[in-house]
Chain A
Amino acid sequence: MSETEQNLILAFETSCDETSVSVVKNGTEILSNMIATQVKSHQRFGGVVPEVASRHHVEIITMLITEALEKAGVTYQDLDAVAVTKGPGLVGALLIGISAAKAVAMAYNLPLIGTNHIAGHIKAANLVDKVEYPALALVVSGGHTELVSMKTPSDYEIIGDTRDDAAGESYDKVGRVMGINYPAGKTIDEMAHQGSETFDFPRAMMKEDNYDFSFSGLKSAFINTVHHADQVGETLDKNDLATSFQSAVVEVLVHKTVKAIAEYQPKTFILAGGVAANQGLRQALTEAINQQFPDLKVIIPPLRLCGDNAAMIGAAAYQQFLDQDFSDMSLNAEPGLEFPYEGE
């Protein structure tokens, strides 16, 4: 295919909360990115409800396809491929997207591409700027905290991972203790900017010679602090708690990321995933990198591309399109899909 050719991918993302359909040109340009969020209907349950999620996905996905094509100003006949998140995620939710993608691929005789959700979060960077390789990404979300090394645009290797809770999950869990609604990340981030660091929470695995994370001890320390205060009838300043908690999370993430950059010498660093929306983390990481690696290209996708969306799947799928990494109609959901660990 020539440089001037337009390759249009219709992409689906239904791995968890969101139902999203997008049209992406050449893996870099968003023609449309329709997202239907269900967070509101979930708030009273305290989280994701798979069965509610599945039903919701089915109801709106056909509507979203029409909208995505219209907004992009294209028809089915203009498309070059159909891409869909195959995992990780909730099996019921994933299957909705996969079924829709298969239906379109079959009806219009288009190649089908099954894409890794985490690759999507990382490749959202392509929608912002040109990624140069080797690249390194920190993926932080409700279910993931991973440092991913990419020697080429097609290779993903985990060099560091959480040993227990994901960073985003720890926000939701301490939020629960403070009576903050799910998802708690944004609220805690805001509170953290109004308090001061008065509690000395642990920073786990800082000295260990690896790139792994652990947030379970921090969660326990936080809960113990709050329970102790309750027992003796003391009221703690919630903003100070939030600041102290966020400092601990951010410090570990920044420390390990900087260490990995020093060793792997990437040409581009990408901050990806839902927690990349966290202002405290963005700020601290950007400052540390500017100071220590002033020449490193840093891409942090805008907030609207940090959460789950189909455009990021279209961006990741484009590389698979170039690699001719296609799936047949037996494509199935892979709820536990993970990148290989380095050297695995």
Chain B
Amino acid sequence: MQFVTQDESQTMAFGQQLGQLVTPKTLILLDGDLGAGKTTLTKGIATALGVKRPIKSPTFTIVREYLKGRLPLFHMDMYRLEDGDMSSIDLQSYFDQGPVIVMEWSVNVLDQLPEDYLRIKIERLDNEIDSTKRHFILEAIGEKNNELIEELKKTSFSG
């Protein structure tokens, strides 16, 4: 599934749409450069989950937990785990708590991820640096996430 959003408010709207469809243990892997809109999308998801506090960047803290919404939301950034020898970082203990997880820079922990996830890639369009347009590419692994994509296809973000 892929589509284009015209500006930040549409990226936010897509996040809100997605936030209504996630269930416990939904793992969303978010790929995109600095400034691509990963935080905006996460804000949309959080809003739909009823999180009231601002969504702040998890880059420094690695994990930010939002526990007061419809479902717990963990926003994680694996950027700082750029290392080949991370076998004992206890990511599993985060998965085991069953929250919705939005994970950035998952490439750094690929071998520790569960077998089903939704991967969302956000790209700038036409190589235009100032452009607000973003190309979204969604890939679902696992039955639950395939169903989620089918539901998304029924929305205005059908591409």
Q: Which residue of A lies closest to B90 (CB)?
A: A92
Known: A50-B89, A223-B34. A172 touches B39 (CB 8 A): no
Contact A143–B60 (Cβ < 8 Å): yes
Give chain A residues whose Cβ lies under 8 Å from the Cβ of B64. 336
The digit string for B105-124, where 1 denotes a CB below 8 A from any CB of A, is 00000000000000000000
Give chain B residues whose Cβ lies under 8 Å from the Cβ of A231. 129
In the bound complex, how far is the Cα of B129 from the Cα of A161, in angstroms?
Answer: 29
The smallest beta-carbon distance between B154 and chain A, in angstroms, is: 31
Is B130 located at the chain interface by the 8 A CB criterion?
Answer: yes
Contact B129–A227 (Cβ < 8 Å): yes
In the bound complex, how far is the Cα of B81 from the Cα of A164, in angstroms?
Answer: 21
Q: Which residues of chain A in 13-61 are interfacial with respect to chain B, using CB atoms and an 8 Å cutoff? A: 45-52
The smallest beta-carbon distance between B3 and chain A, in angstroms, is: 22
Cβ-defined partner of A169 (8 Å) among B35, B60, B90? B60
Q: Which residue of B lies closest to A145 (CB)?
A: B56
Contact B35–A90 (Cβ < 8 Å): no
The smallest beta-carbon distance between B63 and chain A, in angstroms, is: 7
Contact A336–B65 (Cβ < 8 Å): yes
Give chain A residues whose Cβ lies under 8 Å from the Cβ of B59. 47, 165, 169, 172-173
Is B61 located at the chain interface by the 8 A CB criterion?
Answer: yes
The digit string for B52-95, where 1 denotes a CB below 8 A from any CB of A, is 01111101111111110000000000011111001011100000
Contact A45–B82 (Cβ < 8 Å): yes
Contact B57–A50 (Cβ < 8 Å): no
Is A207 located at the chain interface by the 8 A CB criterion?
Answer: no
Give chain A residues whose Cβ lies under 8 Å from the Cβ of B61. 88-90, 143
Known: A46-B82, A216-B39. A165 touches B56 (CB 8 A): yes
Known: A90-B62, A177-B34, A227-B129. A49 touches B57 (CB 8 A): no
Contact A224–B56 (Cβ < 8 Å): no
* Count, chain A residues at interface, CB 8 A: 40
The smallest beta-carbon distance between B57 and chain A, in angstroms, is: 4
The smallest beta-carbon distance between A176 and chain B, in angstroms, is: 8
* Count, chain B residues at interface, CB 8 A: 28
Contact B79–A48 (Cβ < 8 Å): no
Is A163 located at the chain interface by the 8 A CB criterion?
Answer: yes
Contact A164–B56 (Cβ < 8 Å): yes
Contact B129–A162 (Cβ < 8 Å): no
Contact A223–B35 (Cβ < 8 Å): yes
Is A335 located at the chain interface by the 8 A CB criterion?
Answer: yes
Cβ-defined partner of A142 (8 Å) among B60, B83, B130? B60
Contact B65–A219 (Cβ < 8 Å): no
Is A271 located at the chain interface by the 8 A CB criterion?
Answer: no
Contact B56–A336 (Cβ < 8 Å): no
Contact B62–A48 (Cβ < 8 Å): yes
Q: Which residue of A lies closest to B36 (CB)?
A: A220
In the bound complex, how far is the Cα of B56 from the Cα of A173, in angstroms?
Answer: 14
Contact A228–B60 (Cβ < 8 Å): no
The smallest beta-carbon distance between B56 and chain A, in angstroms, is: 6
Cβ-defined partner of B34 (8 Å) among A45, A52, A89, A173? A173
Residue in A45, A172, A219, A223 with the greatest tally of chain B CB atoms within 10 Å: A45
Give chain A residues whose Cβ lies under 8 Å from the Cβ of B54. 161-164, 212
In the bound complex, how far is the Cα of B61 from the Cα of A11, in angstroms?
Answer: 22
Cβ-defined partner of A51 (8 Å) among B35, B65, B88? B88
In the bound complex, how far is the Cα of B129 from the Cα of A223, in angstroms?
Answer: 9
In the bound complex, how far is the Cα of B35 from the Cα of A338, in angstroms?
Answer: 26
Is A166 located at the chain interface by the 8 A CB criterion?
Answer: yes
Q: A49-B83, A164-B57 are in contact. List 14 more A-B contacts (CB 8 A).
A: A47-B59, A47-B82, A49-B86, A50-B62, A51-B86, A164-B55, A169-B59, A219-B34, A220-B34, A220-B35, A223-B34, A223-B35, A335-B63, A336-B65
Q: Which residues of B line the A interface, CB within 8 A?
A: 34-35, 39, 53-57, 59-67, 79-83, 86, 88-90, 129-130
